[in-house]
Structure 1
Amino acid sequence: MNKLNFKSYSLDKVFEIKGFFSDQKEDLLSDNMVSGILTYKHDNIVLELFGNLNSLEDEIIGTVKAPDVIYGYTSEGKLLIINCYGFVYGTDHSPGFTLSKYHVKNFKIYDIYYQELDKKFPEIIDYLSEDQIFYYDFSFDNIEQWIGKSVFSKKKVNGELTVETKVSDYQTTKIFIPSRNLYIEDRAIASIDYNYLNLSSRYYLRISNDNDEITFTHCHETACQIKNYIELITGTPLSFTEITFLSQFKLVNEGKRLPLIKGKYFFQHNRDGKIWEKYKYEDITLNALQDNFEEIMDQWFTKSEKLDFIIKQYTKNLHSVPYIEDSLLSTIRNLEVYARNFHEEEVRLYEKESLKLRKNKKGSRKKNSHEKDSQLRSKLTFLFKNADSRFKEIVIDSFSGFSYFIDSLIQTRNYYTHGDVKSKYPKLLTDYNKMYEANTVLQRLLHYYLYQELRMNYNFTDFTYHDTI
């Protein structure tokens, strides 16, 4: 395991932090602290202590209780605030001490300029527990490609290629989100390793506001929603790579901020990211969207309540490998929720008109079977009818007619939702290739409408079933 420090700790690495720990903030830097090791892996964070905290054996159920919060002081002088699951999941005994293990939900590590702070640890912890911060920086997989800008430039000088950088020339995009009362801005850092003559760059997004009255929780929720937006428009899972924030500062020369307390945040999460193909998403990068990005984010956050269920289901499927039938059902459900949340009145009107036509149609003796699932039928038909005509053309070309396709979706949804014998569902989709094709069409249809809600241009490229939605 590579030895890292505060600056190099990140969410996509594995590392250990050695230090002393206590469940009482008043005990920091006292002899009552217990030595231990905090091991971070993205899917498993464990705190091992060489001794006991104020843990108690439950007399009724026999399990060992543990504090919800544990405080730590690392060997490098950093402060740790660790949130645990409230139980000891493993104990062992060695000569001279007891070894106890704790599952950790998340933790924050702070780099503190102690010389400039006239506060003791309990006071510092009380201040940090108020959750107030002054800015929140975050990065995620493929952020450089999504931003679509470079902090480096190249040109020929005397016939030779020269690479140069001037961070002050980097053109940032700064937008304001009224519904969150926050600014979002992309930033870049360039560095050079003179030993190996390596150039490197780091890109991140900063969340802030004018009054410096923001909380970590508010910013983190905003960052998660921005990440969800990028996952939606690219159809690829993303994971955070670094989250840093400023908790306290001091104004020095010319109004510059001297950080007094900086923090990093770590939590359990999946890492299912994929490396993007070069230029695949160039039309939806931050650089390509430019001024439109502010309008898109305004729509995204304004409509977040209506979109919440759809986005949660969509991103959950991105970060897992669901069976095709489960993925298809999820997509049908998302379209159903979308139609209800955004086009409820139009769908009701369309349903009434369709019902009237069926009643007036001669020889319509199968009215009940048609109306049994009329709500879902009306929603799906309405969405196809009001979308780009190419969606319906694809369905007609790939399946046995549009009406048959809708019947198949309804019967497939009903069978996998309610069970029963397959013979009751003669149009049930059983061929997995057809399920995949149907799911692909429906996902693209969902994308089409979500792009409309965000006022983005949907690029209907040549359709193939092997496209990643």
Structure 2
Amino acid sequence: MKKDDSKVTMLEDFEMRGLWHLPESDLENGIYGTLTFTPSKISLKLMGNFIDFSDQQNSVDDKVIYGFSENGKYVYLDNCFITKQTDNIPGIGMSEYQVNSLFISSQPISLIGDLNITKFIFSFDSYEIWDKSSPIQILMNTKEKSESVNYSQESLKSIRSSYLIENDTMEFSKRAIISRRHINGFTKLELSLKKYFEIKILSDTPFSFENLNDILLKINNFYSIFFGRRLNNKSLKIFTDSQEISAFFVQRIANSKKTILDYNIIHKSIETIFSKFEKEYDSLQVILNTRANQSFKDGFDSDIFIDTSKNLEVFARQYLNISPELPTKYVEIKNELLGILDQKLDQNIINQSEYQFFENKINFVGERALRWKIENCIKLLPEELLIKLFGSEKRKKTIKNFCRSIADTRNYLTHGDSVSKYGLAITNASDLYYVTLKLQCILDILILKKLDLDESIIVKNISRYDGPYQFLFYHN
């Protein structure tokens, strides 16, 4: 396991040795110990205990631990809780903590919740592979079997872009930096290009770490549309007026999947797409969070089907007119019935629980069936993709049976009834996977349409041979 240095990321294991103490104590009374970071767990092992072992209040649950590392860095551990404690007599006591987040700086760190952040920089592990823009040119000379590398600061600027977000209170930038190192003197030069994002806070309103997490999730959700999954956070640096802090936190690592959109096709319109995304974010947030969280699963199970069908239902609620057709005198009749119900309650003919039951029945205006919602979502698909997904002959009947099957399957999986009650329920795991993939494909198409992507771009990317839905379009 490597030791902490300025180049470690949230996707690597590393450790730090140093002195550790509670906020009410000081470094002179610190305890020697080792902090271990992995993407899925942060732990601190101390050669001693903060408080007397016999004191039953010895815990720092949901509190802060400060540290000072062997390489001279100040460390702040947030949301810590004790997992193990021993008091060896004679001998040295031991204690272990699990930690949710850690922060590292060359200066002492005050309470994270009190920081006034002016800028933060972050990156995602998959982004550099997807974003193929590069100012580096490799020139090959096949006759001499040699190669040379060209790049300039001007060409580097060409892949830097920035625009205002969050009602013009922040500047959101995509940036890149080229690093060089010589191997064996000057005989071999190695160049690498690292892409990252930067957000500057333009408003005078205090911007906290909690605000930062909200924006980071939002940006991650935006790019998850292109990748079809939650992205792994690679690095995060926080800046105040006087300090730079590196942040590390526990995260579940998302499984690698094929990207949905080709960068070379849409990169010129990303700013426009993001502007539309900002306006639609409140409506899409539930869908994106559920959809992206599916990428943390190691395999397919029925919960993924349930989540995906739910997401299509959410989409219908947000963007389709799902109000049921009501009788012309519905309001008049409803008020009359509620009046009668009030009289029965006043006359003690019914009790409060009975009143509540019948009031709910009267106020219930009828929910559109799941199959209706999915069927109307499917109607929004481009014609070319409708043909690919449902064929051209007897398509109306095919779609109707498909939607009934989705409703029967969801009800069978969530209600616990006998499968015989649901004639079109899917019980075969392979068939359920295929149908879930089709639902996910439909949802992706609808999201991209809401972000105003050109229909030809959607069709080309969704149905391409190396895309995530090749099984739907090229499986025999």
Fold conserved between structures, TM > 0.5 = yes
In the alignment, the residues of structure 1 paired with residue 120 and residue 212 of structure 2 have an alpha-carbon distance, to the nearest angstrom, of: 7
Q: Structure 2: which 5+ residue stretches go unaligned? A: 328-364
Which residue matches 2:178? 190
Which residue matches 2:298? 321
In the alignment, the residues of structure 2 paired with residue 154 and residue 282 of structure 1 have an alpha-carbon distance, to the nearest angstrom, of: 26
Instruction: Give the 3-state SS of the residue equivalent to 1:154 in structure 2.
Output: strand
Note the alpha carbon deviations across 1:289-337, whole angstroms, 9 max, x for none.
22x3223222223322221211111011111135442222211110001
In the alignment, the residues of structure 1 paired with residue 76 and residue 271 of structure 2 have an alpha-carbon distance, to the nearest angstrom, of: 35
Which residue matches 2:405? 408
Q: CA deviation at 1:219?
A: 2.7
The alpha-carbon distance between structure 1 residues 231 and 398, as it changes in their structure 2 partners (threshold 3 A), is farther
Matches within 5 A, 1:30-429: 30=28, 32-54=29-51, 64=59, 66=61, 68-85=63-80, 87-94=81-88, 95-112=90-107, 125=110, 129-155=113-139, 161-170=147-156, 171=158, 172-179=160-167, 181-196=169-184, 197-211=189-203, 214-249=207-242, 261-274=243-256, 283-284=262-263, 288-290=266-268, 292-321=269-298, 323-343=300-320, 345=321, 347-348=322-323, 374-393=368-387, 394-395=389-390, 401-429=398-426
User: Which one-letter code corresponds to 2:256 in the other structure?
Assistant: K
Q: Is the 8 A contact 1:138 1:244 kept in 2?
A: yes
Q: CA deviation at 1:167?
A: 3.5
In the alignment, the residues of structure 1 paired with residue 314 and residue 376 of structure 2 have an alpha-carbon distance, to the nearest angstrom, of: 13
Q: Is the 8 A contact 1:140 1:241 kept in 2?
A: yes
The alpha-carbon distance between structure 1 residues 104 and 178, as it changes in their structure 2 partners (threshold 3 A), is closer
Q: How many residues align?
A: 415
The alpha-carbon distance between structure 1 residues 217 and 84, as it changes in their structure 2 partners (threshold 3 A), is closer
In the alignment, the residues of structure 2 paired with residue 326 and residue 154 of structure 1 have an alpha-carbon distance, to the nearest angstrom, of: 47
User: Which one-letter code corresponds to 2:463 in the other structure?
Assistant: T
Q: TM-score, normalized by length of structure 2?
A: 0.78
- Which residue, out of 427, 430, 434, partners 1:433? 430
Q: CA deviation at 1:142?
A: 1.9
User: Which one-letter code corresponds to 1:465 in the other structure?
Assistant: F
Q: CA deviation at 1:373?
A: 7.8
Which residue matches 2:338? none
Instruction: Give the 3-state SS of the residue equivalent to 1:408 in structure 2.
Output: helix
Q: Is the 8 A contact 1:56 1:66 kept in 2?
A: no
Q: CA deviation at 1:282?
A: 6.5
Which residue matches 1:465? 471
In the alignment, the residues of structure 1 paired with residue 182 and residue 97 of structure 2 have an alpha-carbon distance, to the nearest angstrom, of: 42
Q: TM-score, normalized by length of structure 1?
A: 0.79
Q: Is the 8 A contact 1:12 1:42 kept in 2?
A: yes
Q: Is the 8 A contact 1:88 1:102 kept in 2?
A: yes
Which residue matches 2:23? 24
Q: Is the 8 A contact 1:381 1:406 kept in 2?
A: yes
User: Which one-letter code corresponds to 2:383 in the other structure?
Assistant: S
Note the alpha carbon deviations across 1:418-452, whole angstroms, 9 max, x for none.
01111111111123332222212211111111112
In the alignment, the residues of structure 1 paired with residue 59 and residue 25 of structure 2 have an alpha-carbon distance, to the nearest angstrom, of: 23
Q: CA deviation at 1:465?
A: 2.5
Q: CA deviation at 1:262?
A: 1.3
Q: Is the 8 A contact 2:255 2:297 kept in 1?
A: no
The alpha-carbon distance between structure 1 residues 372 and 420, as it changes in their structure 2 partners (threshold 3 A), is farther
Which residue matches 1:362? none
Note the alpha carbon deviations across 1:161-207, whole angstroms, 9 max, x for none.
42122234322111211347211111112122213432222211111
Q: Structure 1: which 5+ residue stretches go unaligned? A: 113-120, 250-260, 354-370
Instruction: Give the 3-state SS of the residue equivalent to 1:303 in structure 2.
Output: helix
CA RMSD of aligned residues (A): 3.2
The alpha-carbon distance between structure 1 residues 373 and 24, as it changes in their structure 2 partners (threshold 3 A), is closer
In the alignment, the residues of structure 2 paired with residue 308 and residue 420 of structure 1 have an alpha-carbon distance, to the nearest angstrom, of: 32
